Structure 1
Amino acid sequence: MRSISWKRHLTGYAFISPFVIGFLVFTAIPIVVSLYLSFTSYDLFSAPKWIGLDNYDRMFNKDPKYWNSLRVTLIYVFGGVPLRLAFALMIAMLLNAKARGIGLYRTIYYLPSIIGGSVAVSIMWRNLFNDEGLVNMALNALGIGSVRWFGEPLAALWMLIFLSVWQFGSSMLIFLAGLKNIPASLHEAAEVDGANAVQRFFRITIPMLTPIILFNLIMQIISAFLTFIPAYIISKGEGGPLDGTMLYSLYLFRRAFVFTDMGYAAAMAWIMLLIVAVVSSVLFASSKFWVHYESKGGE
């Protein structure tokens, strides 16, 4: 019996070993190493030298570019995520209607999220927003005038935000699933009672969707904090103009692989982890005031 039990355990360990080995080699060990490197001076070519909290002191007190990258990232996150979710919810409500060919429309609207983070799309976006691009042509046709998207820091940042809003497909699908779970009888009863479309949206749809909104909000905030490829491609890796698109991840990349300051980059990565953890914790803590669930433990 002991032999059979041991063979069963061994078989189980054999099946999970690829995941365990992969997790240790590519996740757990690198996390521990990066924490150690954050307290060292390391340039990839010589052995790490222990310097204690010097990287963190330099980050907070001696590096204005760090604070600029954090400011730019916060604008990108808290400016782009609400717009992205609002746009995703609007499209989800349109696609929730019963119409012929609605499945095809859902597929088409999801495509930007499949290819939206690629290098090719970032290059396309750069061409759309250049001085003689399609966006400025449209603005001129409307009488608004051209915008120097690559000459003004704030305009360049909003160009990145517009790209993030365009990648709304994943959030849209999750909202669409949530909308389909709202009982039609609730809207019918409210309509019978005289509630108009706006009242039904704010009194029924939004409260019923708050768990979905919380999930989408947290996932999109984490994704926005980690955005790298669009900023790198559109600014050609420089974060310009005037560091206007120098997102946190781009500045971390430049410190690590352009200036070979790996210890400082590791410290930046751990601070980013703490920032994301704090923001997520605040959202979870506040959710009890605005997220509504159908039931809690059968109550």
Structure 2
Amino acid sequence: MREYLPTCNLEGIDGLVVMGGDGSFNQCVNGLFERSQKSANVDYNNPEAKLADTMLPIGHIPTGTGNLISGYCYGGCKDIETSILHIIRGKERKFGVTAVYDDSKWLGNCCILLGLGTLSDMVRYSESYRWIKTYRYLVVPAIYFSIKTVPQFKAKLTVKKRDGSVVFTEEELCDLLIANHETFDPNEYFGSKTWYDDENKIMKYHLSSRYNYWKNFMSKLLKGQNYVKPDFVEEIRAVSMKIEILESNMSKTSDGQIKLSLLIDGEYLDLITSALDFRLKEPLIRVFSSL
């Protein structure tokens, strides 16, 4: 979908409708985003560029595994018929994305959640277990933490706050998660805030045992709103963040470059790099929503 949309014939098309999950929606967002920027002559590989709105609105019919994007589009609702009615009415709203760059090259946009480290590695590992559908969220973590080595990396972080202040740190982590504030938690943000009011939520997982990480993962998965963050998880807020990996037990190429699996909205992207740039962008993704 991401490769098809930038070049396909969209003449006479009023909107796109995606049947699938968050990964399918993300592919359509990125494919349409790339096409829209090229049409508007925007250099979208430049992190400082003023981006154009997507040229068509996108509707989501939640038939995937997670369907978290429905929380933004339809107020937390994941019902198929309700989603279709929102699309038929034809009303729209917009949300911002977190754009990812590698050496000033655009890699993709995140609508919900970005991950680098343990979670992204586990998602990559779980691809062979898709046949058990949602049960893989319970089965795969137990298998993964029994046989796999938890990724560990030392990184230099450059975090920019909403007020313009910049914080530099050097930390040892096993996971780094970036939640796009507009779509990740509809109960907290829906209808009450805009992109200009907040920052992305960043969770830094400091080094811990495999058992503690597994216990925390299952607690968050099962307890939902009653989840209590453990001591080795630190939460911060930012509008942008640069990360440079200094050392890592992750696999490397023959010339020493680090091989990364970057989690983007439930899917992973294999990279060979040691530096990434994450930036929260203004609302530009048009979606069908009556709310």
Q: TM-score, normalised by structure 1?
A: 0.24
Higher helix proportion (structure 1 or 2) = 1
Pair member with larger Rg = 1
Higher share of residues assigned strand: 2
Give the TM-score of the pair, scaled to structure 2: 0.24
